[in-house]
Structure 1
Amino acid sequence: MGSAIRLKDIIMKIAIIGSGLSGLACADHLRAAGHEIALFDKARGPGGRMSTRRMASAIGDISFDHGAQYFTARDPAFVSIVREWEKSGVAGRWPVAGDEAWVGVPAMNAPIKALAAGHNVTWSTRIIKMVKADAGWQLQTDDGLIDTVFDQVICAIPAEQAADLLLPWEPNFASIASATLSDPCWTLMLAFDQPSGIADPIFRDDVTIGWAARNSDKPGRDGPETWVVQASPEWSRVHLEDSPEDVTAALSDHFAELAGVSLPPPLVVSAHRWRYARSGRTDSSALYSDEHKLGVCGDWMIGPRIECAWLSGRALAQMILA
């Protein structure tokens, strides 16, 4: 009597669009099951919402964690992963932000860089279309169609971007993504070559500034005093289309007022607009169509925490392998 062919006995070629924590978590689990994984990301390097920005100054390059400021670990499986990051030196605790707060070391994107290093990731590649081939899927970029035919495709990108890719193939998935909107966030980065005079290391929940922190106080950081100032979702939404110069002036003035100081001239200053900063949430941990061999994962499936991205990626991998 012949035995049934099990999925884990079949080596699949799987494409993952998006190389943030969710996509990489999914890739880790699928590769551990023996499958061939190829990841594509429009960014120039690892990070996603855990990105780090480097800027040139008169005293050398200066780094800012201009995305997620810290993360927590509560699910036992994710706690285990974070402990591994800690042992390998790419994560550490940041008590000033709370007893549960962790950050990447020496920058927020360090854990993502470590995960991505073990995978086949093509950077600076924007996927604009998924094409159904006779034997599977092909991906189209701004430069044309990628030759490789994949058995499965996974979308691990923000909901707003996933919706457009999903619509021709899974309208229901696209509808869920379209209805799960992210909050925007204007982020101001400041560096000073002299003490700023600001006493408190963190400010939270102001009507204009939702979060501000002395970035240089995080473990593993060196260089001059740096600050990351993130506007509230409400302020960011109202000023979403303002120029970076106007946002820089407005947030700098409000931050100085909030901190109760006259800020010294900055060594460097820059404003970054995150259109998709704080994710929404759905009733699912991930979405998967066995008919089309098409999956969706991301923090927006579960909630706006870094841990949720990892949990969603793992959940999708389990659905595929099941």
Structure 2
Amino acid sequence: MKKFAIIGAGLAGLACADELIASGHSVRLFDKARGPGGRMSTRRTDSASGQVSFDHGAQYFTARDPSFQSLIETWSDAGIVARWPAAGADAWVGVPTMNAPVKQLAGRHDVTWSAHIEALLKGEDGWHLKFREGALIEPFDHIILAIPAEQAADLLAPTGSEFAAIAAKTVSAPCWTLMLAYDEPLNTGKIILRDDGVIGWAARNSDKPGRMGPESWVVQAAPQWSIDHVENDQDAVAKILEDRLAELLGITLPAPLVRSAHRWRYARSGRTEFSALYSEEMQLGVCGDWLLGPRVECAWLSGTSLGKMIPT
């Protein structure tokens, strides 16, 4: 049995952990977030009309690979995912929030949240993780990185691994996301807007299965618009996106209960020729959707692929 540390407890890291534990290994996961989600994150906000939940990362996911389809059916039977026909016949969402499947997976693993790791240190006794507060005492036999390409490149660079160069050239696209909530449903029959020059996606989040609370909308800026405005002021971006939403819906928007913008610096991943990366010599592995493509399914497939690469 080998001891593994996985940096990143999103879908890729958790899928890899499932494979490693099934092979008899010991696994600990570390994530800088306060809780499960990754790009499938959900934000909860209190309002005058009650708590509002926003799926402010991935809006839905699809399943094309047979093994992932089988997992989705298991999740469906457990009531933590459901189809969302408004987004397409093959669209699925977490229930009651997008992060429900990730939360379930994380619940059966040893995960340390709010873990900000600054460096990887290789000693004679194995790998150590350097936190902001100092180094982790317990050494690990193997290190797995399941984080965005840019973050992986930074951590890998001092190790001399060729994986650092692969990660460095596989950049992610940013995305500005606006979250809006209202005390009454908006006077529109539209549920989803797509492919505008300013707004790439907007959806009535409260239309998704299992959602409770006030009327809520998630508005994601178009890819190029987000790139062009990535360093803009948060309030200015929120105003532009809100005004454009009103134009596209053809209505005057009331004053919102909640109005909050979030900048995803690493929103839409790139892709490579690899499903995952592993070095037996360095006892080092890398997985994530950025290796296969910008889809939720790709994160799970990459993590599963890496888990299968590692000898038992």
Q: Please, what TM-score do these two structures have when normalized by structure 1?
A: 0.96
- Code of the residue aligned with 2:140 in structure 1: it is F
Q: Compute the displacement of 1:170 (Å).
A: 4.0
Matched, 1:261 2:251: yes
Hey, what's the Cα distance between the residues in 1 that align with 2:183 and 2:297?
A: 35
Matched, 1:271 2:261: yes
Q: 1:19 aligns with which of 9, 25, 45?
A: 9
Hey, what's the Cα distance between the residues in 2 that align with 1:110 and 1:133?
A: 38
Question: Aligned-pair RMSD on alpha carbons?
Answer: 0.8
1:29-108 matches, cutoff 5 A: 29-108=19-98
Q: Deviations over 1:182-227 (max 9, x none)?
A: 1100000000102211221000111110000000000000111110
Q: Which residue of 2 aligns with 1:7?
A: none
Q: 2:201 aligns with which of 187, 199, 211?
A: 211
- Code of the residue aligned with 1:134 in structure 2: it is E
Q: 1:135 aligns with which of 122, 125, 143?
A: 125
User: Equivalent residue of 1:167, what SS?
Assistant: helix
Q: 2:163 aligns with which of 162, 169, 173?
A: 173
Q: Which residue of 1 aligns with 2:236?
A: 246
Asked if the contact 1:203–1:211 (Cα under 8 Å) also holds between the matched residues in 2, the reply is: yes
Matched, 1:306 2:305: no
Asked if the contact 1:13–1:37 (Cα under 8 Å) also holds between the matched residues in 2, the reply is: yes
Hey, what's the Cα distance between the residues in 2 that align with 1:168 and 1:143?
A: 20
Hey, what's the Cα distance between the residues in 2 that align with 1:265 and 1:58?
A: 12
User: Equivalent residue of 2:175, what SS?
Assistant: strand
Asked if the contact 2:4–2:26 (Cα under 8 Å) also holds between the matched residues in 1, the reply is: yes
Hey, what's the Cα distance between the residues in 2 that align with 1:22 and 1:89?
A: 22
Asked if the contact 1:214–1:228 (Cα under 8 Å) also holds between the matched residues in 2, the reply is: yes
Matched, 1:198 2:188: yes
Number of corresponding residues: 312
- Report the CA distance shift for 1:100/1:170 in structure 2 as closer, same or farther (over 3 A): farther
Structure 2 unmatched runs, 5+: none
Hey, what's the Cα distance between the residues in 1 that align with 2:102 and 2:16?
A: 13
Q: Please, what TM-score do these two structures have when normalized by structure 2?
A: 0.99
Hey, what's the Cα distance between the residues in 1 that align with 2:94 and 2:132?
A: 32
Structure 1 unmatched runs, 5+: 1-10
Identity rate, percent = 62
1:230-241 matches, cutoff 5 A: 230-241=220-231
